[in-house]
Amino acid sequence: MTTDGVNLRELVLDILLSVTKGEAYSHIALAAVLDKYQYLTKQERGFITRLTEGVLERMIELDYMIDQFSNLKTSKMKPVVRCILRMGVYQLKYMDTVPDSAACNEAVKLAAKKGLNGLKGFVNGVLRNIGRNLDKICYPDEGDQPIHALSVQYSMPEWILSQWIKDYGIQKAKSVAASFMCESRTAIRINPMKCSTEQLNDALNRQGIAAERIYLEGYPDFDYAMYISGYDYLASIPEFNAGWFMVQDVSSMLAAHTAAPRPGSYVIDVCAAPGAKSLHAAELMRGQGIVEARDLTEYKVSLIEENIARCGFSNIRAIRHDARILDEAAVAKADVVLADLPCSGLGVLKKKPEIRYRMTEAAQRGLAALQQEILSVSCRYVKPGGVLLYSTCTINRMENEENTRRFLEGHERFSLVGERQFFPDEGEMDGFYIAKFVLG
């Protein structure tokens, strides 16, 4: 599929290579391509998005399928060939609008374009063989090899499934893994300093963008969020550029909502980039008081500053600071400390599917230790009667409930007001954990 000299599949291949070979994140790499080629039609942009995200979501299954029809296993292939075959197989199995012949022929052309003329026959043979035998592919039996079978079915590494089964049971692990294969709408938080819900809803509807109010059971005062769908890309929506709303998952919105800073508060967000929770806190404070949105690098601080400028708040400032280092000037000064800390990210696999292939158990243990370290520093900023809000965007007890227990054991003056693990199979939200502490 080529438009004005641009090969859509080649764009997808380049994204996949940058993600699987390097350290690029798929949502950033994909957004960069869509931004560069804004002249593409909505259908063409949708094709790029669907194929990119689909291959990354299904990579374990795709490799399993290829390995049944190739004498050379995927683990031994050149990265370019492996990605071309994954793209071809995904189209054969999951994209009904793409003819099998097109999936195979375009893969062969792509191989040639990448200088792999000697492998055109190999690519063609593997894909056509798979296309003829899609209904005959043998999958692992869940009764004999439950974890391996679930790993292939949901393209989830076995160690993650084993952890979820240990923490939550096999049925919950299956349900969570399956939920990451489902499409979800974009959640947005309305900026009440710029518009009302009705104004934003009307403006979006005039552009053909569907908007639906979000109501959460148990949160009667949660009245500032909507799901939107049917738009091309965010930067094409004037109200987004004008700061009328911010894209943020519902579970993430509940962090500042649960912390509940009041007008006039002093809030410190210790790991703030890109600033959604900090800006939410500033909104809840109705422009009064101050929010310090801190993060480690100039780049992350610049992301916060961009969102502050777009949303137009004056009661928030972005500061570069290492959350592991105590800021003596802030000790016992904050009414609220937001600690949404670096984590394994296993709750946001819909948005960043590649995390599942990069994360390791060793890295996860290191992150849990880092969370404890930052919490032990951040809690010192809370003044008596103040709130410490700990959150992660992951799903496992080690980084969540167990870290909460460890914190309480070492900080007896804090009491736990409440904690909750949000699961992605319980509505349209990310996997997320929130624990609220109050200093006595």
pLDDT (0 to 100) of residue 184: 84
pLDDT (0 to 100) of residue 39: 87
Say whether 212 sits in a helix, a strand or coil.
strand
For residue 301, what are its two tokens?
Answer: 């601080």
For residue 374, what are its two tokens?
Answer: 């930052």
pLDDT (0 to 100) of residue 21: 87
Rounded to 5 degrees, φ, ψ at 337 are -120, 120
Say whether 142 sits in a helix, a strand or coil.
coil
Instruction: For residues 418 and 105, give the distance between their C-alpha atoms in angstroms, rounded to a whole number.
Output: 57
Question: What is the CATH architecture of 253-439?
Answer: 3-Layer(aba) Sandwich (3.40)
Query: Does residue 379 carry a catalytic annotation?
Result: no
pLDDT (0 to 100) of residue 38: 87
Say whether 119 sits in a helix, a strand or coil.
helix
392-to-242, 371, 431 alpha-carbon distances in Å: 29, 9, 9
Each residue's pLDDT, cut to its tens digit, for the chain (440 residues) gives 666 668 999 999 999 999 998 788 999 999 999 989 988 998 999 999 999 999 999 999 999 999 999 999 999 999 999 999 999 999 999 999 999 999 999 999 999 999 999 999 999 999 999 999 999 999 999 999 999 999 999 999 999 999 999 999 999 999 999 999 998 889 999 999 899 999 999 999 999 999 999 999 889 899 999 999 998 888 889 999 999 999 999 999 999 999 999 999 999 999 999 999 999 999 999 989 999 999 999 999 999 999 999 998 999 999 999 999 999 999 999 999 999 999 999 999 999 999 999 999 999 999 999 999 999 999 999 999 999 999 999 999 999 999 999 999 999 999 999 999 999 999 889 999 999 999 99
Task: Determine whether domain 2-138 maps to CATH 1.10.940.10.
Answer: yes
Question: What is the CATH architecture of 184-247?
Answer: 2-Layer Sandwich (3.30)
One-letter amino acid for residue 296 of the chain: L
For residue 52, what are its two tokens?
Answer: 């990119």
pTM: 0.93
**CB under 8 Å to 257, separation ≥6 — which residues?**
219, 222, 280, 284
CB atoms within 10 A of CB 68: 14
Rg of the chain (C-alpha set): 23
Instruction: Tell me the domain boundaries of the chain.
Output: 2-138, 150-181, 184-247, 253-439
Strand ordering across the sheet containing 266-269: 316-320, 290-295, 266-269, 334-340, 382-392, 432-439, 414-422
Check if the beta carbon of residue 252 is closer than 8 Å to that of residue 214.
Answer: no
Instruction: For residues 131 and 126, give the distance between their C-alpha atoms in angstroms, rounded to a whole number.
Output: 9
Instruction: For residues 41 and 2, give the distance between their C-alpha atoms in angstroms, rounded to a whole number.
Output: 12
pLDDT (0 to 100) of residue 420: 97
Q: Could you tell me if residue 427 is left (phi over 0), alpha (psi between -120 and 50 degrees) or otherwise beta?
A: left
**CB under 8 Å to 386, separation ≥6 — which residues?**
334, 335, 336, 337, 438, 439
pLDDT (0 to 100) of residue 3: 64
Instruction: For residues 150 and 272, give the distance between their C-alpha atoms in angstroms, rounded to a whole number.
Output: 35
Fold match between 184-247 and 253-439?
Answer: no
State the catalytic residue, choosing from 195, 311, 343, 393.
Answer: 393
User: Which of 266, 260, 404 minimizes the C-alpha distance to 331?
Assistant: 266
